[in-house]
Amino acid sequence: MKQETVHTAEGAGRVCARYGFDAAARRHRLELLELGDADQHWAQRLQQEVIAPQVDALVERFYDFQQRFPEIMRAIGNRDNLAHLKNTQRRYLLSLGHDFSGEDYFGERLRIGEIHAQRNIPLSLYQASYRHLQQLLVEAIPAAIPPGSAEHLALCGFISKITALDMTLAIETYHSVRMADLRETVDNLQSEHWRLHEKVGRDTLTGLANRESALNELEAALATVGKRNTQLCLIMSDVDHFKQINDTYGHLTGDKVLQCVAAKLQQLLREFDIVGRFGGEEFIIVLDDTPLEVARKVAERLRRGVEQELVQCDEQNIRLTISLGLTRATARDDVRGLIRRADDALYQAKEEGRNRVVVI
């Protein structure tokens, strides 16, 4: 397709460092391609005898080939782009092989791969164009170096090696950029997945876990109680006289009450405790790895905390209280049975006058 060298503020050294091409890595790559000190002589002859005298003709022949393929022309774009690319290709050819073992040479070739990846140039087009460039350079060897001669074979060999070096460096960074883009896409999708998961699992009014999410968490915690030899306690809680609040002050005030209670519960619980809106004015609280006596103290702290809250409505302060039913899970419990027992404790708390904790 096109070759572009580093003309940005970022130096070749930084580009090499980004892709791990320190001096040792550069030497190893040259060894793989059998490029050594003796090839510096052939690099000089390639420039002096093949490229420099014919550079403009080489560029024209290169883009004559490119224009035969509609997909390449779509990637190139308009005529202004083509003129720019011809100038860029000219500069590229005049630098081909020059000090090929140096940091600047590697950095420029690595950057070419970045540019192709960033501009979404298909790698297949780039490779096909490179094959044609090799052919053009071989065909441009002057008649003074006859085919089959030692010089001709050595020059052809150098053309093969130096274009292979350029192409492998560009392809390497091309894949690195695409892999980085892919990782970023995956990270973004994963973040969006968790954001949606979190949103779906939340009660829209209170911001607490919704019923389904809280039950799933309870089921997961309950399944490991026997295995971990730990204690799990469940609290079912209800806002006292909530229907009366709704009937007296309206549903908007009722919503404010639920939000106030939810915020207080979250504030007084540990970060890893599970608290959710079970439905209506009822809340579910899962205290994992918590002995019953500790859970009783937690429940009392929640009750006292809510009792101190006031919700203002039309210059009136509404005092809030909650009732709480507490029970401890056993290895034999399932979710339904555990909730039923906590609900029985909650019902008893209401029967006994509300604003209290009952343990069953």
Q: Show which residues are catalytic.
A: 281
Three-state DSSP string of the chain: CCCCCCCCCCCHHHHHHHCCCCHHHHHHHHHHCCCCCCHHHHHHHHHHHHHHHHHHHHHHHHHHHHCCCHHHHHHHCCHHHHHHHHHHHHHHHHHCCCCCCCHHHHHHHHHHHHHHHHCCCCHHHHHHHHHHHHHHHHHCCCCCCCCCCHHHHHHHHHHHHHHHHHHHHHHHHHHHHHHHHHHHHHHHHHHHHHHHHHHHCECCCCCCECHHHHHHHHHHHHCCHHHHCCCEEEEEEEECCHHHHHHHHCHHHHHHHHHHHHHHHHHHCCCCCEEEEEECCEEEEEEECCCHHHHHHHHHHHHHHHHCCEEEECCEEEECCEEEEEEECCCCCCHHHHHHHHHHHHHHHHHCCCCCEEEC
C-alpha distance from residue 7 to each of 36, 46, 47, 91, 166 (Å): 27, 24, 22, 11, 17
Pairing of strands 282-288, 274-279: antiparallel
The answer to whether 165 touches 30, Cβ cutoff 8 Å, is yes
Sign of CA dihedral 130, 125, 21, 102: positive
Distance CA 50, CA 55 (A): 8
